[in-house]
Amino acid sequence: MLKGNKVVAMKDQVQVRRAYEQPAPGDGARVLVDRLWPRGLRREEADLAEWCKTVAPSTALRRWYGHDPELFEEFVRRYQDELQDPERADALEHLRELARRGPLTLITATKHPEISAAAVLAELLRR
């Protein structure tokens, strides 16, 4: 991506943040990528560009995983398989387009964003 006279890599444009953190100036487009709305968070506090539920893992996969760090590797494999579904693939492509336009922050309510679906998506978008 070209920004002014310098090239900015998409990998530098995508980050993950918890829904309960205050928005930051460099967040760019903030997109909630969880299937469920974060508990206790008012919509106006979230400061979201959009809520992309379609890209979230299925309820069955989310429940199976339960954010157990020991299951993360298998979760990644299964989630990437789910992202092959045409509707989810379209949603992922939409996120890629947002990342091409400027900074993109994937928002998740999980306590451990580093082992979340948002982290998986961010890694895919950075490639």
pLDDT in tens, 14-68: 999 999 999 999 999 999 999 999 999 998 889 999 999 999 999 999 999 999 9
d(CA 22, CA 40): 14
Angle in degrees, 0-180, between the axes of helices 72-82 and 117-126, rounded to the nearest 10: 60
- Mean per-residue pLDDT, 79-98: 98
Average pLDDT, the chain: 92
10-30 exposure pattern, b = at least 16 Cβ within 10 A, e = fewer: eeebbbbbebeeeeeeebbbb
Number of domains, the chain: 1
CA dihedral 108, 28, 87, 11 (to 10 degrees): -90
Domain containing 24: what range?
2-126
